[in-house]
A and B are shown apart, each in its own frame.
Chain A
């Protein structure tokens, strides 16, 4: 019987009611008294020297309150980068300045030059058109390898080149890896591109800055996944506002997928300008603007090689990747191709020797940063495409080759610095094969053939590291932040419970799933537990939600705080029952003296805590409120096996996804319905990457895919019903709930399954010359590849 409440139940989401009735409160729904509107005038050239910004005509336009340019931000901090990578030679990465409004140069199409604040949005837009710019256009660098040539134009004049860093991992292993390749019985090599994507949360970014001159307090309402991080970065590094004078609110947020982690110029601008003009300042991003300002994702160009011995054991892996940083370092950009990518190159396999080289490159394009999966999709894609190619070259079953090389002993220390605590890769593979009826594939392929189509099956594995943590480790690796999470549990006198969490929900359903955990621990109805998030004024300092960390890190903090509550409540109950607190048991909201029928209810204890007439005041403070900060001692390692079946129309090269199956091990699951939904969404994004989506620049740095007319988002008829399963469970060994993370798996595991399936279909159709096609596998690309 599936559970009907608490941990493990598919409780329906309470937040749905407001979203389904139009009562959500997203940032753009917030309007403050006396509010002004800002429009940013942005560079329409990719690279240029900014000689003059003449705002005089614009200032005279109707409704204009004030126009800001880079000059107004001299002496104000730039946007900080939150992660410093050290290169192969022990030197820090090159880290350019990132002004809020352009100073001296513009470096990508979309770089903000001036900001017009006016009474209405239309007036701000109109006035921006009257600003006269004198920009000397410079040659742009777009292609990463060209950007590294000696005579390439420099994105940042004060840096020595366009190379941000040249990272080697593990540098000490390089020699041993090369030797293993020299000894290999077989080497498989693959060059591939991990295509640049635009995250495209459906809610465009919005910022509303407000300033209270009476108290000298600033407030920013913003579409963020992590309001405390924004408060710290913006307050401390950009505007110099101490945290106690700055409140950041991220109310209902319409999806993030990484793009709303970062601190953006518009947030700092609205906060800054509101204080300058003493009126609220609101910015609402248009979709066209989002394409040229929201950080992009992926954009890696990689050569990867696998060495195998005569028995087909993997003996070494070597990769060389060029990773696009864009024009500036977005908040966590340097960590993505390094620590979130290199550390995952072992995958599910016991390859003993691995060397990863990453060159991060500045180009005249929008900054690139974490997007759903962040580094781990890139690692998985390379590895799982490569292993498939190796199997084909060796003439062995791709599933068997994987199984032969699976890690089976846990904990397992990889040669790339992480330790998998637990897992069972055979179990998820077995489950997957059971789900997909592999034996029936030939019959389905024959049917497709009769219809004039080519059918293929792609299978792959993935592992990811999520719940990003622990602080001490990430500090050594260059993070300029801690990665704990926090929760305050406040129990009210009549027994209601409010959890104030540092995690942030922008679609993940924390208001429901977090409440399930606390309700289960105490034994009260879920409706008695309220989850508060997204406002620095009423939540403890937290790091927010990304990297599939909410339940693993934020949930753990909440469990710890709830344990403290239960411990204290037991002491109060012991006093009321005249028993020893070690004899008190809590079950279904009742405190009982073990082995007796003496009990008090949860509500009696909570009332006593706040009306302490009969209360052990000499030993215990009144009240029932506890806070915990949880800093995990490892990542969690969800893993699984994915399969995709495709049909290709040989006349057009169009690929249709016939079926997609995902067998995941997420450890213990709090709400299976929500977890499945997370996987579904990730799969659509991975399928989108594999078949449809591509951010495309021309050689002058003009963005060609700058609207939904040109950027192909997956739509309902591009995807099938998915089969998802998370019944294989190896609980995480180091967090109290035994949970892993589930938010990114779908996006990480699915692209190689799709591409493997297409290659399989082509080979079955006799086109054995096609070793690889780069994503997205558009009809044109597939058709061209078929022609040879």
Chain B
């Protein structure tokens, strides 16, 4: 067991991990931050996406040990400082971009990363970017719409609701 220290959502945290402990496990089990979800074991579903040093990664593919000193942002750190929903989160609620909520943390984290690198993505760009995020509930319609809306685009022409 080795001690790791990192910044998670702006707070310094530390804990002991094994060599094989994944970042996703460290967040969920070590820090009891259960907003990050685990939906697969082959790095395919994207339920576990977090930001590490500003980049979106699948936290099931990173070893906690390798991230000593890193700055991590999870879904728990995405709301505005006053606790209200951020623009992306609010767009997901406004456009019904979630149902069971299980894929949602990863979707929001991916959406935030996308909008950072591409502030006005087209529909095709959003869909292509979400290639690594699986949702079984929404059929993606309202997720894509929510992300486009969060980027400030007018989505009123996209089929209702």
Contacts and interface: CB of A to CB of B under 8 A. Distances in A.
Interface of A: 10, 12-13, 15-26, 28-29, 31, 122, 200-204, 252-255, 257, 286-288, 506-509, 672-677, 680-685, 707-709, 713-717, 719, 721-724, 746
Nearest to B123: A721
B76 A22 contact: yes
A518 B133 CA distance: 36
A4 to B, nearest CB: 14
Nearest to B74: A22
A28 B102 contact: no
B98 to A, nearest CB: 6
A714 B133 CA distance: 10
B35 A22 contact: yes
B59 interface: no
A288 B161 contact: no
Contact of B139 (A15, A254, A672, A682): A682
A707 B123 contact: no
10 contacts: A16-B93, A21-B85, A22-B76, A23-B35, A202-B135, A203-B102, A288-B42, A675-B161, A680-B141, A681-B137
B37 interface: yes
Contacts of A719: 139-141
B135 A677 contact: no
Given A12-B93, A16-B92, A20-B92, A288 B41 contact: yes
A675 B38 CA distance: 28
A682 B75 CA distance: 27
Nearest to A21: B79
B72 to A, nearest CB: 13
B149 interface: no
Given A255-B100, A287-B45, A716-B140, 8 more contacts: A12-B93, A20-B93, A20-B104, A203-B37, A254-B102, A676-B160, A713-B44, A715-B131
Given A680-B138, A716-B144, A21 B78 contact: yes
A685 B98 contact: no
B133 A677 contact: no
B40 to A, nearest CB: 4
B35 A708 contact: no
Contacts, number: 196
Interface string B19-43: 0100000001000111111111110
A23 B103 CA distance: 13
Interface in B81-101: 85, 89, 92-94, 96, 98-101
A13 B139 contact: no
Contacts of A21: 35, 75-76, 78-79, 85, 89
Contacts of B103: 202
A254 B100 contact: yes
Contacts of B49: none
Interface string B121-147: 001101110110111111111111100
Contacts of B133: 715-716
Nearest to B155: A721
B26 to A, nearest CB: 13
A676 B100 CA distance: 15
Contacts of B47: 202
B101 A19 contact: yes
A716 B127 contact: yes
A288 B40 CA distance: 7
A223 B160 CA distance: 32
Contact of B105 (A22, A288, A672, A675): A22
Contacts of B139: 680-685, 714, 719, 722, 746
A122 B41 CA distance: 15
A681 B140 CA distance: 8
Contacts of A674: 96
Nearest to B89: A20
A22 B136 contact: no
Nearest to B78: A21
A201 B40 contact: no
A672 B161 contact: yes
B105 to A, nearest CB: 6
Given A201-B136, A204-B39, A722-B159, A19 B34 contact: no
Given A21-B89, A22-B75, A680-B142, A708 B96 contact: no
A26 B140 CA distance: 22
